[in-house]
Amino acid sequence: LAQRFGPEGEHAEARLAPAPLGAVEEALGGRLPGSEPGLPLAQDPEELRLLRRVGRVAPESLDSYRAAGGYQALRRAVELGPEGVLREVLDARLLGRGGAAFPTGRKWEAVAHSAVRPRYLVANADESEPGTFKDRVLMEEDPFSLIEAMTIAAYAAGAEHGYIYVRGEYPLARRRLQGAIEAARARGLLGEDVLGHGFRFDVEIWRGAGAYICGEETALFNSLEGKRGEPRNKPPFPTQAGLFGKPTVVNNVETLINVLDIVLEGGEAFARIGTEGSTGTRLFCVSGHVARPGLVELPFGATLGRVLELAGGVRAGHRLQAILLGGAAGSFVTSEHLDLPLTFEDTRKAGTTLGSGVVMVFDETADLRDVVLRIARFFRDESCGQCVPCRVGTVRQEELLHRLLRDGSPADGELALQRDLSQVMRDASICGLGQTASSAVDSALRLGLLGLSEERDT
């Protein structure tokens, strides 16, 4: 079902099979005033980098992708050589976009300089964080960009085989990526002799089965190896012993696609976008009670208020109650944070996180007690159960929340117990799931969003 809502309340809808944007618009009676086909929200096309091809190229056509500048970055990478590509990515100071914000160039460099072979490249496209859909848009609407970026990353790191671990709920992304892989192979852009330069690299798609934990890189490796999806202890790190025990580069989809501009423009030019500590642009997944939910791309340093503005603000006649920043593993902020610059360093100072780019907006009609309880239940269900702090802590957290919300006020020591639970999970859990499972709950309690009476802790 395709639906369209105009600025004056106009509404049209149509039922149709998957089709290009133009066919959808035709079925809906043409463009409505103020709309711009193919663009996320109301952004100027000149502001877009990662999204500039979305809606403007045919996602299943290699010729369309190349006509829009596709595969120029790979040719430039071959001219630079592996060390040259590494140097540009290091100069760009590109940080991972999956949530951990680890320097991408350092990962690649560690694998490239390893004496162990074979080496692997993994694109983490599991994207299971609630409220996140940026990688889905990139894979469905611009699949060749991911294949090209992976080829460059593999060239720099010395990997001959790559995997794309795609969330099981993304069948269209999987189909289009498979088509892109086959088209690239047919043109000599993947396979035994990429571009005729003696470089061997091929890609395989692996479908996830819905486990949130498999978004964690080492649990993802176990899943790829046919094992139970549980995280591994670190060290050793993936760059030392990752997939099949070999040096492995694992990057998020958004992270990889940034590499195309870095190679074409140079690392120093890329680093001039954004801020000193957070370079480039960032994709924000805006959802909830806003006028125009969707995907926003802005340079790092733009404020939370600017993101909300591009989404049309809180829906008419309502006021902002809270924003969940970073997804279920993130934390709540309020209207006091609308001037917060969205960078890794500024959100860290403010006690929150960018996470995977989720901006989930709640107006005053939302029952945040129910939202927070659902988040606690989500982490209880998604815990793999391997380590005690997470397995037991997520259950105890949900039980404690039920008591707090049932009674309406904390009994003696209950808030202190929640703080202790949070601290233990953060300090002792094996992976990020347990370490962040209490973030949203803690922030909601700290900001007084749950409507509890005055704290009576001892």
CATH number for 439: 1.20.1440.230
Question: Would you say residue 55 lies in a domain?
Answer: no
pLDDT band at 407 (very low <50, low <70, confident <90, very high): confident
Cis peptide before 171 (omega within 30 of 0): no
What does the pLDDT look like over 280-321, one tens digit per residue? 999 999 999 999 999 999 999 999 999 999 999 999 999 999
Question: Would you say residue 56 lies in a domain?
Answer: no
Do 247 and 289 belong to one domain?
no
Question: Would you say residue 230 lies in a domain?
Answer: yes
Residue reference for tokens 């159960």: 385
212: CATH? 3.40.50.11540
Do 168 and 75 belong to one domain?
yes
Looking at 335, 363, 391, which one is the last position of a domain?
363
Average pLDDT over residues 326-333: 97
Whether the per-residue pLDDT at 198 is higher than 60: the answer is: yes
Instruction: Tell which residue, 63, 52, 327, has the closest CA to residue 189.
Output: 63
Question: Would you say residue 48 lies in a domain?
Answer: no
pLDDT at site 408: 79
Question: Would you say residue 458 lies in a domain?
Answer: no
What does the pLDDT look like over 155-166, one tens digit per residue? 999 999 999 999
Do 193 and 338 belong to one domain?
no
* CB proximity list for 339: less than 8 A, separation 6 or greater: 303, 304, 305
pLDDT at site 422: 96
Pair 400, 417: CB distance under 8 Å? yes
Do 143 and 245 belong to one domain?
yes
Pair 165, 206: CB distance under 8 Å? yes
Q: Using DSSP bridges, classify how beta strands 281-288 and 11-14 pair: parallel, antiparallel or unpaired.
A: unpaired
Whether the per-residue pLDDT at 217 is higher than 80: the answer is: yes
Do 263 and 316 belong to one domain?
no
pLDDT at site 37: 39
pLDDT at site 45: 74
Question: Would you say residue 323 lies in a domain?
Answer: yes
CA angle 136, 138, 139 (to 5 degrees): 65
pLDDT at site 24: 57
Whether the per-residue pLDDT at 38 is higher than 70: the answer is: no
pLDDT at site 8: 45
| Lowest-pLDDT range of 9-13, 113-117, 243-247, 436-440 | 9-13
Query: Looking at the 3D structure of the chain, how many domains does it have?
Result: 4
Pair 255, 98: CB distance under 8 Å? yes
Do 125 and 216 belong to one domain?
yes
Question: Would you say residue 334 lies in a domain?
Answer: yes
pLDDT at site 98: 85
CB burial string 160-190: b at 16+ within 10 A, e below: ebbbbbbbeebeebbebbbbbbebbbeeebb
Pair 311, 293: CB distance under 8 Å? yes
Do 151 and 7 belong to one domain?
no
341: CATH? 3.10.20.600
Looking at 304, 330, 363, which one is the last position of a domain?
363
Question: Would you say residue 288 lies in a domain?
Answer: yes
User: Using the 8-state DSSP alphabet, how is residue 423 labeled?
Assistant: H
Instruction: Tell which residue, 355, 378, 385, has the closest CA to residue 437.
Output: 378
Do 254 and 329 belong to one domain?
no
Pair 72, 325: CB distance under 8 Å? no
Looking at 363, 378, 403, which one is the last position of a domain?
363
Structure tokens at 87: 């140097």
Do 253 and 207 belong to one domain?
yes
Q: What is the 3-state secondary structure (H, E, C) of 74-137?
A: HHHHHHHHHHHHHHHHHHHCCECCCCCCCEHHHHHHHHHCCCCCCCEEEEEECCCCCCCCHHHH
What does the pLDDT look like over 178-187, one tens digit per residue? 999 999 999 9
The domain in which residue 395 lies consists of 368-446
Do 247 and 319 belong to one domain?
no
Do 431 and 331 belong to one domain?
no
What does the pLDDT look like over 351-364, one tens digit per residue? 999 999 999 999 99
Return d(Cα 363, Cα 315) in angstroms, integer. 8
Average pLDDT over residues 137-148: 98
| Lowest-pLDDT range of 188-202, 208-222, 409-423, 443-457 | 443-457
Whether the per-residue pLDDT at 41 is higher than 70: the answer is: no
What percentage of residues in the chain have a pLDDT greater than 70? 90
Average pLDDT of the chain, as a whole number: 91
Do 356 and 376 belong to one domain?
no
